[in-house]
A and B are shown apart, each in its own frame.
Chain A
Amino acid sequence: MDALLLSRIQFAFTIGFHILWPTFSIGIACYVACLSGLWWRTQRTVYRDLMRFWSRIFAMGFGMGVITGVVLSYEIGTNWAGYSRAVSNVIGPLFMYEVLTAFFLEAGFIGIMLFGEGRVSRGVHFFACCMVALGTLFSATWIIATNSWMQTPAGAVADAQGIFHVTDWWQVIFTPSFPYRLMHMVCASFLTGAFVVAGVSAFHLWQRRHLRTARTAFSMAMWAALVLAPAQIMIGDMHGRNTLEYQPTKLAAMEGLWDTGKGVPAVLFAWPDMDEARNRFAVEVPHLASLYLTHSWDGEVQGLKAVPASDRPYVPIVFFAFRIMAGIGIALLATAITGLVLRLRGRLYETRWFQTVAMAVTPLGFVAVIAGWTVTEAGRQPFVVYGLMRTADAVAPVSAGAVSATLIAFFLIYNVLLLTFFWFGARTVLKGPEGEPAHEAWRARPGPDRSAVGLATNPSLQTPQSGFQPAPGE
């Protein structure tokens, strides 16, 4: 394998692993902020206990997000030097603003959010939680702006050497696909977060433990899902129509559509054959794709054959990833509606089969997020900047050997990380909101206490002064 393919695999793997944690952090940060606010205003301890419980889990996910993210910001240089050389004028400042406005904001307040409850008042704690949540949203905004520029580039021109120069910053940031992609991603994070909360509380309900907190959380999460699931599908629909306009080839790959035509069918299932440029085993619904893409019975949709074969993405990946995502969207909507029905009948907290369902759908949001990004990124191929720069020109002058070594190491390390996260995450969940604080383990194992050693040289040190300062609100 050459350095290009290896770098693509390494990047896809590391960023695909990274995106799981932002999805989680964005959703749960907002949930914790909301709980902190409720605890501050209502003084109900159920909110406090939930807040502490979820910030423990949040801390782990956030940590994973930070360390995998730091890797990415350097990988763009280590593995995609050709890319950074060409587009640094455009994306450099966007990354810089992400650090300045988002990462520092998160980092500046995460300490207070996680460790500061005993040192600051409830209002200040709420404020810190809001700042962390806001930081995750800012971060999403900048990084999605960057990615959207690669999908639907605007406001910059390339010179003869292929270096891009910005003509209009407004256009660079607000590219045509940016608003849809941002909304779709943020909504995806909230939706995924809602189902994580629902799944964990369903587990507690199912175990018949922690009933007080589990009911509250389950109810909150199911209300949120009821709003977010349909919203996500609506945004996805708008997103798709935007793609039809600006990245028709990608859209044709998502739909598995080879020939341009009017009144095109929706392909429910098929095996897209790249060599023969046609679908095998197709199951289709006539006119449906025209209907949802153009909102007219006979609307025209461009097919893959409109561009030469060398400009087409690898269709099966895009095609199936899209179906996985959309299928999950519908499954989550169905779950949310079932929850409403049970709630109206007053059986939301007691129906055991529904608790099993809620636990089962917990990971689906993450699967949909990965599938969605696969659609977006693989559908952009063979370009790294859509229509303007090919992925093959993006690679860095690194040796294939070095990349394979690091790729294997990433693979091992990330899998260990994931297992560790599940291990400790599961323990925290098992212990539940009303268990003892996570660090019951302060029982220090004994060792030589050497506080006397050397102090003789300086008598004034024999009474170690403590700079202990009571903080406000204690």
Chain B
Amino acid sequence: MDLPLLFALVAAGAVVIYVLADGFDLGVGILFLFAPRDADRDMMMASVEPVWDGNETWLVMGGTLLLAAFPAAYYVLLPALYLPVVFMLFALIGRGIAFAFRLQTVRFRVVWDVVFAGGSALAVFCQGLILGGLIGGIPMQDGMYAGGAFSCLTFLGVLCGAGLVGGYALLGAGWLIWKTDGATQVFAREIAHAALILTMGMMVLVSGWTALTEPEVARRWFEGWHLLYLAPIPLLTLGVAAGLWKSLWSEWEVGPFLLAIALFLLGFSGLVISLWPYVVPWQVTLWDGASDPQTLGFAVFGVVLVLPMVLAYQAHAYWVFRGKTRHLDAYGTQ
């Protein structure tokens, strides 16, 4: 069995789950300050409070999966992306801690609101910078990173950052439409329009810019008849976006959330087409970058035996908090 391939699929799966799961709670953070009332903010935070930790754990999972299965990616990409990675971590610290402390104060709640929203937005923007740096390619020498501290910061990264902020905000709005009601839900329906426009605009810009500046990516999409059988992806994306726009004011409350997920999956598949099979773009393929067979052989038990259990009780945690969020799902309510 081709273990590197298996692990590449698992890693891709972990990234997808991370982006979708932490995506909506980061998105709720991005929307936080736009909500008109404090009561909306309380409700928004309560809706993600029981699950955000599990969502963020997928980020850790992604990192350790790279270390275990594709160490080359880990020790080349992380120093290469040092600044955006560390600033993403700072931002995650800020928003994470806001969960613990925001509710405890009345006078300074505004401060925590800003920390939570700012942290969420900054973390997402840094993820965009990381993505942009990745697509732009990583300079390497003797198997190690060989660039400067700022070489990962590119215009493409800024575009990706704005796109991800929009996309996560869209997921967050979809989540709120599904999980809340009343005024909070109305707010989410309204703001989702802006998020959708931002997302789609950035998707177009990022795709265009990459096609213009990255010859390798352009070749994959436009060479020969490629575009013909790749065309369904952009077309489907447009279709989903149109459906999403229509669903925003419909009674199908879970609709916008599901369609936003579909939008992300399409974007992700576009990314995979552009980057496959590199773990360090244009330098190291997943087979060259994989760890020892005996290491993968040991790790595979965890993936086959433990991961399904993890998915099961994560699903269970969502099930316990099913239905609309209630105000008092907070510490030790009677």
Chain A contacts to B: CB under 8 angstroms: 51-52, 55-56, 59-60, 63-64, 66-71, 73-74, 76-79, 81-82, 84-85, 88-93, 95-101, 103-112, 114-120, 165-167, 169, 396-399, 401-402, 406, 409, 413, 417, 420, 424, 427-428, 437-439, 441-451, 453-455, 457-458, 460-461, 464-469, 471
Contact = CB atoms under 8 A, between A and B. Distances in A.
A467 B295 contact: no
A406 B86 contact: yes
Nearest to B104: A424
B283 interface: no
A55 B331 contact: yes
B90 interface: yes
16 contacts: A64-B97, A70-B56, A73-B64, A81-B145, A88-B68, A88-B291, A100-B306, A111-B51, A115-B330, A119-B321, A447-B36, A447-B37, A448-B36, A448-B37, A467-B323, A469-B323
Contact of B183 (A55, A451, A469): A451
Given A63-B96, A468-B326, A95 B68 contact: yes
Interface in B310-334: 310, 313-314, 316-317, 320-324, 326-334
Given A92-B71, A402-B149, A458-B250, A468 B60 contact: no
Given A78-B78, A397-B144, 7 more contacts: A66-B53, A70-B92, A74-B78, A92-B69, A107-B56, A413-B90, A437-B331
A420 B322 CA distance: 32
B104 A99 contact: no
B37 A70 contact: no
Contact of A88 (B75, B329, B331): B75
B251 A461 contact: yes
Interface string B48-86: 011101101101110111111101101111110011011
B298 interface: yes
B168 interface: no
Contacts of B251: 458, 460-461
A420 B89 contact: no
B324 A467 contact: yes
Interface in B166-190: 181-183, 185-187, 189-190
Interface of B is mostly: helix
A111 B53 contact: yes
Contacts of B59: 70
Q: Which 10 A-B pairs have the closest CB atoms?
A: A111-B50, A77-B78, A92-B68, A88-B71, A447-B37, A107-B54, A52-B332, A444-B39, A63-B100, A451-B183
A69 B69 CA distance: 21
A217 B90 CA distance: 36
Given A464-B182, A468-B323, A92 B101 contact: no
A97 B331 CA distance: 30
A455 B54 contact: no
Nearest to B178: A467
A59 B100 contact: yes
B243 interface: no
Contact of A85 (B37, B100, B105, B144): B144
Most buried by B among A70, A107, A461, A471: A107
Q: Which of A73, A169, A428, A446 has the most CB of B within 10 A?
A: A73
Size class of the contact patch on chain B: 35 or more
Contacts of A465: 181
A115 to B, nearest CB: 5
B34 interface: no
Nearest to B93: A67
A31 to B, nearest CB: 15
Nearest to B311: A104
A472 to B, nearest CB: 10
Interface string B83-113: 1011001101110110111011110010000
A52 B323 CA distance: 25
B233 interface: no
Contacts of B96: 63, 66-67
Given A437-B332, A448-B37, A458-B250, A78 B302 contact: no
B307 interface: yes
A92 B332 contact: no
A419 to B, nearest CB: 11
A165 B296 CA distance: 12
Nearest to B333: A118
A424 B306 CA distance: 37
B292 interface: yes
A88 B74 contact: yes
B201 interface: no
A468 B54 contact: no
A444 to B, nearest CB: 4
B75 A445 contact: no
Scoring A66, A90, A96, A427 by chain B CB atoms within 10 A of each residue's CB, the highest score goes to A96
B299 interface: yes
B183 A420 contact: no
A465 B328 CA distance: 18
Nearest to A463: B181
B65 A96 contact: yes
B85 to A, nearest CB: 6
Contact of A77 (B38, B53, B75, B322): B75
A439 B330 contact: yes
A95 B143 CA distance: 23
A167 B89 CA distance: 35
A112 B76 CA distance: 39
A114 B320 CA distance: 13
B324 A67 contact: no
Contact of A118 (B69, B100, B292, B328): B328
B284 to A, nearest CB: 12
A397 B79 contact: yes
A453 B148 CA distance: 51
Contacts of A169: 294, 298
Nearest to B150: A402
B50 A115 contact: yes
Contacts of B298: 93, 166, 169
Contact of A92 (B39, B299, B331): B299
B334 A118 contact: yes
A88 B36 CA distance: 49
Nearest to A417: B97
